[in-house]
Amino acid sequence: MEVQDGAELCFPQLLNTSCRKPTSHQLDFVFLHVVMSSISVLIIVLNLLVIISVSYFRQLHTPTNILLLSLAVSDFLVGFVLLPGEIYVQTHCWFHGDMMCCVYHYLGYIVFSTSVGNMVLISIDRYVAICHPLHYPTRVTVTKAKLCVLLCWFCSIFYISVVFKDFLAQPGINNSCDGQCIVVISYSAIVSGLIVTFIAPVTAIILQYMRIFVVAVSQARAMRSHTAAVTHQHSVTRSKRKSELKAARTLGVLIFVFLICFCPYYCVSIVGASPSAVKFVISMYYSNSCLNPLIYALFYPWFRKAVKHIVTLQILQPGSSEVSMLK
Protein backbone atom coordinates (compact mmCIF):
# COMPACT_ATOMS: atom_id res chain seq x y z
CA MET A 1 0.00 0.00 0.00
CA GLU A 2 1.50 3.32 -1.05
CA VAL A 3 1.69 6.21 1.32
CA GLN A 4 0.89 9.71 0.14
CA ASP A 5 3.72 12.22 0.02
CA GLY A 6 2.03 14.41 2.61
CA ALA A 7 1.93 11.56 5.11
CA GLU A 8 5.71 11.11 4.75
CA LEU A 9 6.50 14.69 5.66
CA CYS A 10 7.51 15.88 9.12
CA PHE A 11 5.16 18.88 8.68
CA PRO A 12 2.46 17.96 6.10
CA GLN A 13 1.16 21.53 6.13
CA LEU A 14 4.56 22.79 4.89
CA LEU A 15 4.79 20.99 1.58
CA ASN A 16 7.63 23.09 0.20
CA THR A 17 9.90 23.33 3.27
CA SER A 18 9.23 20.21 5.33
CA CYS A 19 11.68 17.31 5.58
CA ARG A 20 10.57 13.76 4.92
CA LYS A 21 10.20 11.45 7.87
CA PRO A 22 13.29 9.27 8.48
CA THR A 23 12.92 5.79 7.07
CA SER A 24 15.11 2.81 7.88
CA HIS A 25 15.22 -0.91 7.31
CA GLN A 26 14.01 -3.26 10.00
CA LEU A 27 17.60 -4.25 10.87
CA ASP A 28 18.61 -0.61 11.35
CA PHE A 29 15.55 -0.01 13.50
CA VAL A 30 16.38 -2.99 15.75
CA PHE A 31 20.01 -1.90 16.03
CA LEU A 32 19.16 1.66 17.00
CA HIS A 33 16.40 0.86 19.46
CA VAL A 34 17.64 -2.37 21.04
CA VAL A 35 21.42 -2.37 20.82
CA MET A 36 22.01 1.35 21.25
CA SER A 37 19.36 1.66 23.95
CA SER A 38 20.99 -1.20 25.87
CA ILE A 39 24.36 0.51 25.58
CA SER A 40 22.80 3.74 26.83
CA VAL A 41 21.36 2.03 29.92
CA LEU A 42 24.67 0.29 30.62
CA ILE A 43 26.57 3.58 30.31
CA ILE A 44 24.17 5.29 32.73
CA VAL A 45 24.29 2.50 35.33
CA LEU A 46 28.06 1.95 35.32
CA ASN A 47 28.98 5.61 35.42
CA LEU A 48 26.33 6.39 38.00
CA LEU A 49 27.91 3.75 40.25
CA VAL A 50 31.28 5.45 39.83
CA ILE A 51 29.77 8.88 40.56
CA ILE A 52 28.00 7.70 43.71
CA SER A 53 31.01 5.74 44.94
CA VAL A 54 33.54 8.56 44.63
CA SER A 55 31.14 11.28 45.78
CA TYR A 56 29.72 9.48 48.81
CA PHE A 57 32.60 7.60 50.46
CA ARG A 58 35.04 10.05 52.05
CA GLN A 59 38.01 7.72 51.81
CA LEU A 60 37.68 7.76 48.02
CA HIS A 61 38.14 11.54 47.84
CA THR A 62 41.63 11.25 46.32
CA PRO A 63 43.15 13.20 43.40
CA THR A 64 42.99 10.19 41.09
CA ASN A 65 39.37 9.47 41.96
CA ILE A 66 38.41 13.14 41.40
CA LEU A 67 39.62 12.70 37.82
CA LEU A 68 37.71 9.44 37.50
CA LEU A 69 34.62 11.25 38.79
CA SER A 70 34.93 13.91 36.08
CA LEU A 71 35.35 11.23 33.42
CA ALA A 72 32.31 9.38 34.78
CA VAL A 73 30.21 12.57 34.64
CA SER A 74 31.07 13.18 30.98
CA ASP A 75 30.40 9.53 30.14
CA PHE A 76 27.12 9.65 32.08
CA LEU A 77 26.00 12.57 29.91
CA VAL A 78 26.78 10.48 26.84
CA GLY A 79 24.42 7.74 28.00
CA PHE A 80 21.76 10.02 29.47
CA VAL A 81 21.57 12.76 26.82
CA LEU A 82 23.67 12.21 23.71
CA LEU A 83 22.98 8.58 22.89
CA PRO A 84 19.18 8.85 23.36
CA GLY A 85 19.33 12.03 21.29
CA GLU A 86 21.22 10.22 18.53
CA ILE A 87 18.59 7.48 18.47
CA TYR A 88 15.82 10.10 18.29
CA VAL A 89 17.50 12.03 15.46
CA GLN A 90 17.99 8.86 13.43
CA THR A 91 14.39 7.67 13.78
CA HIS A 92 12.21 10.78 14.18
CA CYS A 93 11.70 14.24 12.80
CA TRP A 94 13.09 17.03 14.95
CA PHE A 95 10.14 18.88 16.50
CA HIS A 96 12.01 20.72 19.28
CA GLY A 97 13.20 23.79 17.44
CA ASP A 98 16.51 25.02 16.12
CA MET A 99 17.75 26.24 19.51
CA MET A 100 17.35 22.84 21.15
CA CYS A 101 19.06 21.27 18.15
CA CYS A 102 21.95 23.68 18.65
CA VAL A 103 22.15 22.88 22.38
CA TYR A 104 22.14 19.13 21.69
CA HIS A 105 25.07 19.24 19.25
CA TYR A 106 26.91 21.84 21.31
CA LEU A 107 26.69 19.67 24.43
CA GLY A 108 27.79 16.63 22.46
CA TYR A 109 31.02 18.23 21.29
CA ILE A 110 31.74 19.59 24.78
CA VAL A 111 31.33 16.15 26.36
CA PHE A 112 33.53 14.57 23.71
CA SER A 113 36.29 17.14 24.19
CA THR A 114 36.09 16.92 27.97
CA SER A 115 36.32 13.12 27.93
CA VAL A 116 39.59 13.31 26.02
CA GLY A 117 40.87 15.98 28.41
CA ASN A 118 39.99 13.80 31.39
CA MET A 119 42.00 10.93 29.94
CA VAL A 120 45.01 13.22 29.55
CA LEU A 121 44.68 14.35 33.18
CA ILE A 122 44.50 10.73 34.34
CA SER A 123 47.65 9.87 32.39
CA ILE A 124 49.45 12.88 33.94
CA ASP A 125 48.34 11.79 37.41
CA ARG A 126 49.68 8.26 36.86
CA TYR A 127 52.90 9.65 35.37
CA VAL A 128 53.66 11.75 38.45
CA ALA A 129 52.63 8.94 40.83
CA ILE A 130 54.94 6.35 39.24
CA CYS A 131 57.81 8.42 37.86
CA HIS A 132 58.02 10.95 40.72
CA PRO A 133 56.53 9.13 43.72
CA LEU A 134 58.33 11.25 46.34
CA HIS A 135 56.87 14.48 44.93
CA TYR A 136 53.38 13.12 44.26
CA PRO A 137 51.80 14.06 47.65
CA THR A 138 52.81 17.71 47.22
CA ARG A 139 52.42 18.09 43.46
CA VAL A 140 49.06 16.31 43.20
CA THR A 141 46.41 17.17 45.79
CA VAL A 142 42.63 16.98 45.88
CA THR A 143 42.36 20.75 45.53
CA LYS A 144 44.68 20.81 42.51
CA ALA A 145 42.79 17.90 40.95
CA LYS A 146 39.48 19.78 41.31
CA LEU A 147 41.02 22.89 39.75
CA CYS A 148 42.36 20.84 36.84
CA VAL A 149 38.94 19.30 36.28
CA LEU A 150 37.26 22.72 36.28
CA LEU A 151 39.90 24.02 33.88
CA CYS A 152 39.37 21.02 31.61
CA TRP A 153 35.62 21.65 31.38
CA PHE A 154 36.14 25.41 30.92
CA CYS A 155 38.67 24.94 28.10
CA SER A 156 36.35 22.47 26.37
CA ILE A 157 33.42 24.88 26.56
CA PHE A 158 35.56 27.77 25.31
CA TYR A 159 37.05 25.81 22.41
CA ILE A 160 33.72 24.38 21.26
CA SER A 161 32.11 27.82 21.56
CA VAL A 162 34.71 29.17 19.12
CA VAL A 163 34.08 26.29 16.70
CA PHE A 164 30.30 26.72 17.02
CA LYS A 165 30.22 30.53 16.89
CA ASP A 166 28.26 30.65 13.61
CA PHE A 167 25.96 27.82 14.66
CA LEU A 168 25.29 29.48 18.04
CA ALA A 169 24.60 32.83 16.38
CA GLN A 170 22.20 31.32 13.84
CA PRO A 171 20.70 28.04 15.11
CA GLY A 172 19.46 25.89 12.28
CA ILE A 173 21.71 27.52 9.70
CA ASN A 174 22.74 24.10 8.39
CA ASN A 175 19.23 22.67 8.20
CA SER A 176 17.99 22.32 4.63
CA CYS A 177 14.35 21.77 5.63
CA ASP A 178 11.99 21.91 8.61
CA GLY A 179 12.26 18.93 10.93
CA GLN A 180 16.00 18.44 10.45
CA CYS A 181 18.72 18.72 13.10
CA ILE A 182 22.26 18.73 11.75
CA VAL A 183 25.46 20.69 12.17
CA VAL A 184 28.11 21.10 9.48
CA ILE A 185 31.64 21.82 10.72
CA SER A 186 34.06 23.49 8.33
CA TYR A 187 37.07 21.53 7.11
CA SER A 188 39.45 23.88 8.91
CA ALA A 189 37.57 23.29 12.17
CA ILE A 190 37.75 19.54 11.60
CA VAL A 191 41.50 19.71 11.06
CA SER A 192 42.05 21.89 14.13
CA GLY A 193 39.83 19.55 16.14
CA LEU A 194 41.87 16.62 14.89
CA ILE A 195 45.00 18.24 16.30
CA VAL A 196 43.56 19.67 19.52
CA THR A 197 41.25 16.85 20.58
CA PHE A 198 42.99 13.80 19.12
CA ILE A 199 46.58 13.96 17.83
CA ALA A 200 47.99 16.08 20.68
CA PRO A 201 46.14 14.22 23.51
CA VAL A 202 46.88 10.77 22.07
CA THR A 203 50.55 11.63 21.61
CA ALA A 204 50.76 12.91 25.20
CA ILE A 205 49.03 9.83 26.60
CA ILE A 206 51.18 7.36 24.64
CA LEU A 207 54.44 9.11 25.55
CA GLN A 208 53.51 9.27 29.22
CA TYR A 209 52.38 5.65 29.40
CA MET A 210 55.56 4.54 27.62
CA ARG A 211 57.58 6.34 30.26
CA ILE A 212 55.38 4.89 33.00
CA PHE A 213 55.88 1.38 31.66
CA VAL A 214 59.67 1.76 31.48
CA VAL A 215 59.88 3.15 35.02
CA ALA A 216 57.49 0.52 36.40
CA VAL A 217 59.52 -2.30 34.88
CA SER A 218 62.81 -0.87 36.15
CA GLN A 219 61.37 -0.42 39.63
CA ALA A 220 60.08 -3.99 39.63
CA ARG A 221 63.49 -5.27 38.59
CA ALA A 222 65.22 -3.21 41.27
CA MET A 223 62.87 -4.54 43.94
CA ARG A 224 63.40 -8.06 42.69
CA SER A 225 67.19 -7.73 42.84
CA HIS A 226 67.03 -6.27 46.34
CA THR A 227 64.63 -8.90 47.63
CA ALA A 228 66.53 -11.78 46.06
CA ALA A 229 69.38 -11.21 48.50
CA VAL A 230 67.24 -12.09 51.50
CA THR A 231 64.50 -14.34 50.14
CA HIS A 232 64.10 -17.24 47.82
CA GLN A 233 64.96 -16.04 44.35
CA HIS A 234 62.54 -18.17 42.31
CA SER A 235 59.42 -17.19 44.25
CA VAL A 236 60.29 -13.50 44.06
CA THR A 237 61.06 -13.70 40.36
CA ARG A 238 57.74 -15.39 39.64
CA SER A 239 55.85 -12.78 41.66
CA LYS A 240 57.59 -9.83 40.02
CA ARG A 241 57.08 -11.22 36.55
CA LYS A 242 53.36 -11.39 37.24
CA SER A 243 53.43 -7.73 38.33
CA GLU A 244 55.26 -6.72 35.17
CA LEU A 245 52.80 -8.58 32.95
CA LYS A 246 49.84 -7.08 34.79
CA ALA A 247 51.23 -3.56 34.36
CA ALA A 248 51.91 -4.16 30.67
CA ARG A 249 48.46 -5.63 30.11
CA THR A 250 46.65 -2.77 31.87
CA LEU A 251 48.56 -0.07 30.00
CA GLY A 252 48.01 -1.90 26.73
CA VAL A 253 44.25 -2.10 27.30
CA LEU A 254 44.02 1.61 28.14
CA ILE A 255 45.84 2.69 24.98
CA PHE A 256 44.34 0.05 22.68
CA VAL A 257 40.68 0.67 23.61
CA PHE A 258 41.12 4.43 23.41
CA LEU A 259 42.65 4.29 19.94
CA ILE A 260 40.22 1.68 18.62
CA CYS A 261 37.18 3.70 19.70
CA PHE A 262 38.37 7.16 18.63
CA CYS A 263 40.53 6.65 15.52
CA PRO A 264 37.67 5.56 13.21
CA TYR A 265 35.57 8.56 14.26
CA TYR A 266 38.20 11.02 13.06
CA CYS A 267 39.04 9.05 9.95
CA VAL A 268 35.39 9.14 8.86
CA SER A 269 35.12 12.84 9.72
CA ILE A 270 38.03 13.71 7.45
CA VAL A 271 37.71 11.39 4.45
CA GLY A 272 33.95 10.85 4.52
CA ALA A 273 32.16 7.50 4.38
CA SER A 274 28.86 5.79 3.76
CA PRO A 275 25.97 6.32 6.21
CA SER A 276 26.35 2.77 7.56
CA ALA A 277 30.06 3.36 8.26
CA VAL A 278 29.23 6.63 10.01
CA LYS A 279 26.69 4.88 12.25
CA PHE A 280 29.23 2.19 13.09
CA VAL A 281 32.02 4.57 14.15
CA ILE A 282 29.56 6.68 16.14
CA SER A 283 28.42 3.57 18.01
CA MET A 284 32.10 2.77 18.73
CA TYR A 285 32.57 6.26 20.13
CA TYR A 286 29.53 5.89 22.38
CA SER A 287 30.62 2.41 23.47
CA ASN A 288 33.85 3.89 24.81
CA SER A 289 31.81 5.66 27.48
CA CYS A 290 30.65 2.23 28.60
CA LEU A 291 34.16 0.78 28.56
CA ASN A 292 35.78 3.65 30.46
CA PRO A 293 34.30 2.77 33.88
CA LEU A 294 35.20 -0.86 33.29
CA ILE A 295 38.82 -0.02 32.50
CA TYR A 296 39.38 2.78 35.01
CA ALA A 297 37.16 1.62 37.85
CA LEU A 298 36.29 -2.08 37.76
CA PHE A 299 39.98 -3.00 38.04
CA TYR A 300 40.05 -1.28 41.45
CA PRO A 301 38.97 -3.40 44.47
CA TRP A 302 37.49 -0.34 46.15
CA PHE A 303 34.98 0.00 43.32
CA ARG A 304 33.67 -3.53 43.77
CA LYS A 305 33.36 -2.95 47.51
CA ALA A 306 31.59 0.38 46.96
CA VAL A 307 29.17 -1.19 44.47
CA LYS A 308 28.34 -3.89 47.02
CA HIS A 309 27.48 -1.22 49.60
CA ILE A 310 25.36 0.68 47.08
CA VAL A 311 23.46 -2.32 45.69
CA THR A 312 22.74 -3.74 49.17
CA LEU A 313 21.61 -0.25 50.33
CA GLN A 314 24.20 -0.20 53.11
CA ILE A 315 24.87 3.43 52.20
CA LEU A 316 21.53 4.29 53.82
CA GLN A 317 22.92 3.36 57.23
CA PRO A 318 24.18 6.19 59.48
CA GLY A 319 27.90 6.85 59.12
CA SER A 320 28.25 4.62 56.07
CA SER A 321 30.17 7.34 54.22
CA GLU A 322 33.08 6.78 56.64
CA VAL A 323 33.37 3.06 55.85
CA SER A 324 36.85 2.03 54.74
CA MET A 325 36.93 1.22 51.04
CA LEU A 326 40.67 0.68 50.65
CA LYS A 327 41.17 -2.35 52.88
pLDDT tens per residue, range 96-131 = 888 888 889 899 999 989 988 988 898 898 888 888
The C-alpha atoms of residue 187 and residue 176 are separated, in whole angstroms, by 19
The whole-angstrom separation of Cα 287 and Cα 5 is 37
| CA 131 to chain CA centroid, nearest Å | 26
Q: Tell me the residue length of the chain.
A: 327
Structural fold of domain 26-322: Rhopdopsin 7-helix transmembrane proteins (1.20.1070)
CB 274: neighbour CB atoms within 10 A?
9
* Digit-coded pLDDT (tens) for 212-242: 888 877 766 766 666 555 544 455 445 544 5
Residues 77, 153: contact at Cβ < 8 Å? Answer: no
Domain ranges of the chain: 26-322
pTM: 0.84
Q: Where is pLDDT greater, at 24 or 307?
A: 307
CA-only gyration radius of the chain, Å:
24
Instruction: Tell me the pLDDT of the chain averaged across its residues.
Output: 80
Of 196-210, 237-251, 270-284, which range is least confident?
237-251
pLDDT at residue 274, rounded to an integer: 65
With beta carbons less than 8 A apart as the criterion, state whether 122 and 67 touch: yes
Distance, C-alpha 96 to centroid of its chain: 27
Q: Which of 201, 179, 204, 180 lies closest to 262, judged by CA?
A: 201
